[in-house]
A and B are shown apart, each in its own frame.
Chain A
Amino acid sequence: MQLTVWTYEGPPHVGAMRVATAMKGLHYVLHAPQGDTYADLLFTMIERRNARPPVTYTTFQARDLGGDTAQLFKSAAAEAYERFKPEAMIVGASCTAELIQDDPSGLARALNLPIPVIPLDLPSYQKKENWGAAETFYQIVRTLAPKRDTAHTPGARKRCNILGPTALGFRHRDDLAEIRRLLARLGIEVNVVAPLGASPADIARMPDADFNVVLYPEIADVAARWLERTHGQKFTRVIPIGENATREFIEEVAALAGIDATAVLSDPDSRLPWWSRSVDSNYLTGKRVFIFGDATHAIAAARVAAEELGFEVVGLGTYAREFAREVRTAAEKLGLTALVTDDYLEVEAAIAALQPELVLGTQMERHIAKRLGIGCAVISAPAHVQDYPARFSPQMGFEGANVLFDTWVHPLVMGLEEHLLAMFRDDFEFNDAAGASHLAAHQTAPPIPQAPTASEILWSKEAEAELTKIPFFVRGKARRNAERFAAEQGLATIQIETLYDAKSHFAR
């Protein structure tokens, strides 16, 4: 038993739902107790989908357990076929149905439906959401795109499939658009995108492609390996998140397609490199950042943070145990030990101990960071409704790199403001605790009562005039600093020089 406050991943059948909901013409019949229909709202509310997920739940109750839940499953599957007329069906059990052992696979087979019925075996007490999505996608591909007798003959124009995007994925919609654009510029044709938008008939066409582009290994890695073994389709390993990875991805794709990518590489529309080199970005240097998410996004974020923004990565971790090895390797390269856990409380403890200046994480880390008063940007699922933006906001490709620059820099205190904070760090309305001034959401710290000014110290006329040149929001602090400095130094009168001596003294 594991004590959990919040979970990073849902159960494996939610992963299967993400695949089914992404596809067209596929229906999922899920043996599940009343209440498991909550999962619909993930799609209709968090992702704002305008249609119900294509899922029929048996929603059995206690009174059914004494009777025939198997019959309930059969009638639900038969009715779902009649009503929705899908091209193919996936069938399986949620955690409770797994315990009553009704064998949805055998029951569905007994119905002799005139469509492919794909049984899913998703062990709910061992596995989680991403594993369930990967397994579901793999089973669908394997069933609907079996080995062919004749080998695929490449056409004049190279074709690829894009594998991985699902419903409820973090920015999958926009990543896909960006990668499609990139492939079009390279002159590569997209054969099938799956699961997102694919029908069972499209899945059957997947072997027509020359190679596969894998965007999210958590979901597509198993299927891609099977396609390589069965249909000889090689697949991409580089995840195009960040400027450098996007360039490597283009080179990798070009090599797979046997084309020349020089033109695309020499004219990238990425602004990240210049934005990072721009002098105002100096203040980003060495910002301490903690990174946590699924493996793909966490590893990519660590590279972008270190190489392309000049941050110092002080922590790197993942909840995706299936990809722990990859994350550990990435962490070791940065001289770190990866945090591999799905215990939210452990992640919180790690962040609290490291006191980073920025957290890049999931919606869980956003809340941790908020509690600890640290800036945060979301880089990975699980995400909440605000991370499904209306605007185009990819993470992948050159435009994705632009987006990363903007969203990661935004939560930080900006350069010049930071200097002022260092100088007047005790100012009651302008201090570290009040947060960055461009972030309206930050609460202003409660005002600290002012100490009475040292009235015995005199200000020279010149110094008084100089003081008025200091911006109003820091003038009070400058006055007090100067008086404090004068008192400490035993000076009776504050001259212009005293003001600057004080500034130098307190700007440590």
Chain B
Amino acid sequence: MTTPAPSAGCESNALPVLRERGQREVFCGLTGIVWLHRKIQDAFFLVVGSRTCAHLIQSAAGVMVFAEPRFGTAIMEEKDLAGLADANEELDRVVDRLLARRPDIKLLFLVGSCPSEVIKLDLSRAAQRLSTKHMPQVRVLNYSGSGIETTFTQGEDACLAALVPEAPEADDRTSPSLLVVGALPDIVEDQFHRLFAELGIAHVDFFPPRRAGNIPAIGPNTRMLVAQPFLGDTARAIEARGAKRLGALFPFGAEGTTAWLKAAADAWGVSELDFRRVVAPHRERAKRALARSRETLAGRSIFFFPDSQLEPPLARFLSEELGMRALEIGTPYLNRDLLEAEMKRLPEGARLSEGQDVEKQLDRCRAERPDLVVCGLGLANPLEAEGMTTKWSIELVFSPVHGFDQAGDLAALFARPFARRAALKV
């Protein structure tokens, strides 16, 4: 596990990046199924993998509602490894059984895993074969959520990228439409819908859709706002369909949300005056909601372990709007295209790190004793036991955090560990 020296100066307008390789304490892309299967209400996610894959998803989803979920695992056994022909037959049998049990399913994702990738089980051919068999009732698509190819939120990217070819072709003579990309909580979608309407942007679609049959059309008149920093492949696939991406900060906090909306407003030629008139009350409300957490967070130092790729925009939000001091901003992967605007706003003095050697990162963290550590579930309790205050990062992808009306909630997620420390007298 060699650790190259920090490659300083490779970013022309931002912080140097520390790149490390070693043990990565991160989830694989299969974990995204835990929220994706709730977002697309008639889709089913079938992981083709091992018992480890099944165990991972249920452990990550362990706190979730336990109704029969719209995901499952086709666990490969010894005989599936022996011959791929048999594995394909077995997969067909499993899919038949599944679809017979769940006639409500309209879209089935075959999700590749580490073992299916390593034995080179061709899931795209399997998806074609099964689609032919089960159309028009069920469409079958595939993507890989394997740990050898994806880290945590990259699973959503791979899933959405696989969905892009299913989008109908938009007529290029129609007026421009706005496409918001990224799985957002329904309530957040509804809030954005209202804001865009107030701004005079009438035709707004969200991707992924809530139902498989409602995939929005994409074409040269599509203008895309990406809502999550980890959707690089999806954004590129949509751009390849002729759509234009509106670069902006991500909609975290009052500033991020304003800038994100402004990118759309500019594309629609909304006047500065109109934009302010519409946005100001919401922005003010967001700022008011931040005030209380700011009292707790201002001046405190924060250290991010890599997790969801949300780390750079969150560090920008926490430093600019809440006065926190970022020591290290760790991210599993730095998506430079999508983060272009964010990179310019990253706090000075922070260490930006991409990839991970968890042991070395823990050494740095212990040496710096940050006031707050943002990390995964495997590290949180051990660090708490060492006397550090932690915020589990998984909550950041499992809660509504985008937009004006969630800015206060997002800040409160970081303030709560301090409030708890202060409250406890044991």
Interface residues of A (CB under 8 A from B): 1-7, 9-11, 13-14, 33-42, 44-46, 48-52, 56-62, 64-65, 72, 75-76, 79, 83, 94-96, 99-100, 123-126, 128, 367, 370-371, 384-385
Contacts and interface: CB of A to CB of B under 8 A. Distances in A.
B91 A1 contact: yes
B93 A1 contact: yes
A40 B1 contact: no
A32 to B, nearest CB: 8
B69 A5 contact: yes
Contact of B23 (A5, A44, A76, A96): A76
A75 B1 contact: yes
Contacts of B146: 33, 35, 62
B148 to A, nearest CB: 4
Interface string B96-121: 01100000000000000011011100
Interface stretch (B11-19, B53-61, B414-422): B53-61
Given A37-B25, A41-B59, A60-B148, A10 B52 contact: yes
A457 B26 CA distance: 73
Given A7-B58, A35-B146, A45-B381, 8 more contacts: A3-B75, A33-B28, A35-B151, A36-B28, A39-B59, A42-B59, A57-B23, A126-B77
Contacts of A46: 59, 62
B134 interface: no
Contacts of B25: 37, 40
A68 B31 CA distance: 27
A35 B382 contact: no
A56 B73 CA distance: 26
A3 B56 contact: no
Contacts of B172: none
Contacts of B149: 61-62
B382 A50 contact: yes
A39 B376 CA distance: 12
Nearest to B377: A41
A11 B359 contact: no
8 tightest CB-CB pairs across the interface, nearest first? Answer: A35-B28, A35-B147, A40-B378, A50-B385, A96-B114, A41-B377, A1-B90, A95-B50
B148 A3 contact: no
A494 to B, nearest CB: 47
Contacts of B58: 6-7
Contacts of B396: none
Contacts of A3: 72-75, 94, 97-98
Contacts of B69: 5
A420 to B, nearest CB: 31
Given A5-B68, A5-B72, A61-B148, A44 B118 contact: no
Given A44-B381, A125-B81, A38 B114 contact: no
Contacts of B73: 3-4, 7
A34 B28 contact: yes
A7 B54 contact: yes
B259 interface: no
30 contacts: A1-B77, A1-B87, A1-B90, A2-B77, A3-B73, A4-B72, A5-B72, A7-B55, A11-B52, A14-B55, A33-B147, A35-B146, A36-B28, A36-B147, A37-B23, A37-B25, A37-B378, A45-B377, A49-B381, A50-B384, A50-B385, A52-B378, A59-B24, A59-B147, A72-B1, A83-B359, A124-B50, A125-B50, A126-B77, A367-B66
B51 interface: yes
A89 to B, nearest CB: 16
Contacts of B62: 46, 384-385
Given A2-B77, A35-B26, A62 B382 contact: no
B114 A52 contact: no
A380 to B, nearest CB: 16
B151 A34 contact: yes
Nearest to A75: B1
A44 B359 CA distance: 17
